[in-house]
Structure 1
């Protein structure tokens, strides 16, 4: 028999029992995520893509002129 933290009512952070799986707000609080219901859900890739739009240093072809390059 294997000891698995992901079996039954155990949370991934240890052996603390989690609430019912239909209570996602309670599960989020247990995991340290607290978010108000603010409308449509966004995937992490959407959030990261929007964040990275304004990051010039992530551009694959940066400006060769250091005076005009964004920092």
Structure 2
């Protein structure tokens, strides 16, 4: 290969690496949305669980009593 061809190929590879595809495809958006919904539902179930409610109620009660340990 000539030097000119090598330079053109290297420039094209660098441009592809720097700019990429420019965004996600529809399938990637779908997978990302499903993952976000799964994480949100897991977080919701943890936050609304009894242990969290009890811990928050205890924290508020201690704060109202003057913060004693």
- TM-score when scaled to structure 2? 0.28
* Bigger radius of gyration among the two: 2
Which structure features the higher share of helix residues? 2
- TM-score when scaled to structure 1? 0.28
Larger RCO (alpha carbons 8 Å, 6+ apart): 1
